[in-house]
């Protein structure tokens, strides 16, 4: 059973989490299951101009296939939230699948 849950996007969007750093992306998330929900897909919906993500070349439509080594599909939504809940100045590693089917690994700085 597939769900596109808006509130999971909120869990993953650092801009919405209080007192955390911001990587400069908002994402669309598809999950599977409820207890616990697991990420099925995470797609970049917006990239904030001038952000860490923008400087790294992240594009709208890129698919995030790993967050700090937690592979998507299959990563617990709660685990992904914890990994994205970083302070300013900390980094997180992302693997992205681009529109050209290129797999990129990038480290983004929370600002």
The whole-angstrom separation of Cα 91 and Cα 32 is 27
Give the CATH number for residue 37. Answer: 2.30.42.10
Examine the pLDDT at 17 and tell me if it is beyond 50. no
Binned at pLDDT 50, 70 and 90, residue 16 comes out as very low
The whole-angstrom separation of Cα 95 and Cα 27 is 14
Residues 6+ apart with CB under 8 A from 13: 25, 26, 27
- Domain limits at 71? 2-109
Average pLDDT of span 92-109: 95
Average pLDDT of span 105-111: 94
Could you tell me the pTM of the whole model?
A: 0.77
pLDDT attached to residue 18? 43
Three-class DSSP category at 53:
helix
Task: Compare 59 and 19 and report the one with higher pLDDT.
Answer: 59
Domain count along the chain? 1
């Amino acid at each position: 059973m597939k769900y596109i849950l808006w509130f999971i996007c909120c869990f993953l969007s650092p801009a919405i989490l209080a007192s955390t750093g911001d990587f400069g992306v908002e994402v669309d998330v598809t999950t599977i299951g409820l207890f616990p929900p697991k990420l099925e897909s995470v797609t970049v919906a917006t990239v904030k101009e001038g952000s860490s993500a923008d400087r790294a070349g992240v594009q709208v439509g890129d698919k995030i296939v790993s967050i700090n080594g937690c592979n998507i599909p299959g990563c617990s939504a709660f685990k992904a939230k914890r990994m994205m809940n970083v302070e300013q100045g900390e980094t997180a590693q992302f693997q992205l699948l681009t529109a050209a089917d290129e797999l990129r690994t990038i480290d983004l700085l929370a600002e």
